[in-house]
Amino acid sequence: MATTETAPPAATQPPADTPLRIRRVTAEGTLTLFGAAAGALALDWVLYERVLPFTGVLGFWVSWYAAFLLLYTGMAALQWDQLAVRDKVASVALSTGGILATAIVIDQVAYTLVRGSAAVKHPSFVTQSMAREGPLSPLGVGGVGHALVGTLEQITLATLFSVPLGIAAAVFLSEVGGRMARPVRTIVDAMTALPDIIAGLFILAFLILTVGLPKSGFAASLALAVTMLPIVTRASETVLRIVPGTLREASYALGGSQWRTVLNVVLPTARSGLATAVVLAIARGIGETAPVLLVAGYARGLNWNAFANWQTSLPLYIFYEIQLPQINEKIRAFGGGFVLVILVLVLFTIARRVGGAAPGQLTRRQRRRIARQSITRERTGS
Amino acid sequence: MPSETHTRVMPAVPEDAPRVIVAQPSTGDKIFRGILRASGWSVFVITGLILVFLVLRALKAFKFMGAAFLTTQAWVIQSPQHFGIAAILPMGILIALIAMVIAVPTGIAIALYISEYAPATLRRPLIALIDLMAAIPSIIYGLWGLLFLEPRILGFDSWLGRHLGFIPVFHFRLSSSLAANYANSTFIAGVVVSLMVIPIITSLSRQVFSQAPQGEREGAYALGSTRWGMVRTVVLPFGRAGVIGATMLGLGRALGETIAVTLIITPVFHFNYHVLEGGAPLGGGNSIAATIALDFQSFPNAGSMGLSALMAAGLVLFAMTLIVNMLGAIVISRSRSGLATAD
């Protein structure tokens, strides 16, 4: 009796519960992936470079990818069931999407920076205009100084025009609403994808041909404002919509009027998101060529006055320089691209830094400041 | 007064009437709302002004060409003037279609990867990356497409031309297989434009995908679905409207893209659906926006027919993209409003 109690047969005991690991990286999975990639590379090299009469780097990678997917599907089919094969192939194919996007962005930025560095390494490139430059001038002569001034002046003016109007329209959409909100939102959405050249054409038809103003940086900034306005509105509205309704209700309950509530509660709460919206719109506006192309004119010299005479901006400078046949002009175009990409990257980083926080979420510094204030208040009061 | 005609025990009690709970806005609020409303309306005013002034400036060209403006495949501004959009409009649409064929699957794949497959630590950087891709100026896309992509894609182009030439779209009419003959083609312009459309499609579809209800996702897993099965049966059907809307907004962007197309194509003014053809003897693609960007400098004086013709072409482009974009925006807002009730 005692023996049967102390030694139960091991087979009948239920196994201990171990949690099922659902996202396990297995050796088979990893090796299949790398094996397929390497096999495809070898196969592709033999066929594409040696056997078949193909050329071109891009074609090589396109056919490598096709071979890789085929090999991977085959290898997966040898070891797993059909459902798992489909799942694995789909996840590999979708992951390539992410890798592809990363590669393209890095390649574009790096290519522009590398090709442009030949021009930008001359310090005079960012200070000089093209006034003294001839078709055969070396890279040390001529630069983007005038275009940089033009870009900064035009984008400042465009921001002044588009941001207050855009944020006001966003506040209208989120705070006032009503029957008109939906059509306004539809038009704003449609305007975000408005062909950028139409903005230039509009300013040309309106201000320059009908009103009779000359081509100038001011006209260019108006065209930029038309393209930036929907971006500001769209981005601001999404931010304003996630301001907690309880904050508004608290303000109303304290007797606040609507404009007080919006100015003192809603907008400050959404401040970081609004700043992001503005900076993103600036980043978009700063690189627009087509609206500026028709109405700014193209000046080779420096023009500080945005309201009189032609003024060049960076994208416009690149557009004209790249179309010239001389190699130095093309390098200058990439130099302009270098400066423009740096500007966009800086603006973009600022936007991410500022806009990381959701509305109402405080940064560490803000929290510390509030804590300090409450401590001093406790000590001084009562 | 009912109390006077009827006898009641307590005649002084007034009838119950619902209390007005809508507060009368103060003067300050009225002014404030007026300003906001005006700002909201300003987008209508701007769109209307664009329409009015383009029509005004285009009248001369419309009067000169009449209905032939829509059917003429030429762009001759010097007399005898003879111009129309029958070539440049479909050529532009062709570029946009090539862009969409590449961008829609890629954009959806990236969006699915970010919302369903990417590890949580990668998600935010990838979203930032897609935003950055949208913020890269189109002139940079143009430079990159012209000088980086084009030399590397020509081999692929000529391969397509030689081996898939039996498909009419890929047919190449020159017998020479010189890679340079494939340069500056509609196809290359379409590839570059597709890269500019991908971020639009990705970010809009990602937002919709990430809002697919958690309960149904878990339900799919609980029924034994793989991740791909869950994506196919829950996330994709849920996001369908959003993807359609995103595609249409992307199409609007592709139709109106100017600078990258202008830099890449060799303009032609007859409709050429052989998308691989480019370079000197045959000529490549064209679009309304590219025609405007290339031609406007030739017409400095305000009253000229050339400028009016460009305005007319611009008006057609504006009307077309506005309709496409509005349809897209309406589809997306429908999908959003459905969400609001589902939550």
Residues of A in contact with B202 (CB under 8 A): 101
Phi then psi for residue B83, to 5 deg, are -150, 155
Pick from A172, A183, A290: CB nearest B258: A290
- Could you report the per-residue pLDDT of B179-201, keeping only the tens digit for each? 667 778 888 899 999 998 999 89
Q: Which of A108, A192, A263, A345 to mutate to test the interface with B (most CBs of B within 10 A)?
A: A108
Report the predicted TM-score, pTM, of the whole model to 2 decimal places: 0.83
Per-residue pLDDT at A158: 92
pLDDT tens, position by position, for chain A (382 residues)? 444 455 555 556 666 777 766 666 777 778 888 888 888 888 888 887 777 766 667 777 888 888 888 888 888 888 888 888 888 888 888 888 888 888 889 998 999 898 888 888 888 887 777 777 777 777 777 788 888 888 999 999 999 999 999 999 999 998 887 788 888 988 888 888 788 889 888 998 888 888 888 888 898 999 999 999 998 998 888 888 888 889 999 998 998 888 889 988 998 888 888 888 888 888 888 888 888 888 887 877 787 877 777 888 888 888 888 888 888 888 888 888 999 999 889 888 887 777 655 555 666 777 788 788 888 777 775 4
Residue B336 neighbours by CB distance under 10 Å: 16
Q: Which of B57-66, B74-83, B103-112, B288-297 has the lowest mean pLDDT?
A: B74-83
pLDDT value of position A41:
87
DSSP B136: S
Point out which residues pair with B76 in neighbouring strands: B82
DSSP collapsed to 3 states, chain A: CHHHHHCCCCCCCCCCCCCCCCCCCCHHHHHHHHHHHHHHHHHHHHHHHHHCCCCCHHHHHHHHHHHHHHHHHHHHHHHCCHHHHHHHHHHHHHHHHHHHHHHHHHHHHHHHHHHHHHHHCCHHHHCCCCCCCCCCCCCCCCCCHHHHHHHHHHHHHHHHHHHHHHHHHHHHHHHHCCCCHHHHHHHHHHHHCCCHHHHHHHHHHHHHHHHCCCCCHHHHHHHHHHHHHHHHHHHHHHHHHCCCHHHHHHHHHCCCCHHHHHHHHHHHHCHHHHHHHHHHHHHHHHCCCHHHHHHCCCCCCCCCCCCCCCCCCHHHHHHHHHCCCCHHHHHHHHHHHHHHHHHHHHHHHHHHHHHCCCCCCCCHHHHHHHHHHHHHHHHHCC
User: Which residue, among B29, B117, B140, B235, would best test binding to A if mutated, counting the most A CBs under 10 Å from its CB?
Assistant: B140
* Contact criterion met (CB < 8 Å) for A318 and B143: yes
Which of A176, A180, A340 comes nearest B137 by C-beta? A340
Chain A contact set for B217 (CB, 8 A): none
Chain A: closest CA distance from residue B71 (Å): 22
Residue B253 has pLDDT above 80, yes or no: yes
Q: Which of B115, B80, B146, B289 is nearest to B208 (CA)?
A: B115
In this predicted structure, what is the pLDDT of residue B198?
92
B43 to A229: CB separation less than 8 angstroms, yes or no? yes
What is the H or E stretch that residue B172 is in?
none
Task: Evaluate if residue B270 carries a pLDDT over 50.
Answer: yes
Instruction: Judge: A182–B333 Cβ closer than 8 Å, yes or no.
Output: yes
Local confidence band at B339 (pLDDT 50, 70, 90 cut-offs): very low
Per DSSP, the three-state class of B82 is strand
Q: Say yes or no to pLDDT of B141 above 80.
A: yes
Split at pLDDT 50, 70, 90, the class of B343 is: very low
Q: Which residue is closest to B148 within chain A, CA to CA? A: A111
A259 vs B28, B139, B228: nearest CB: B28
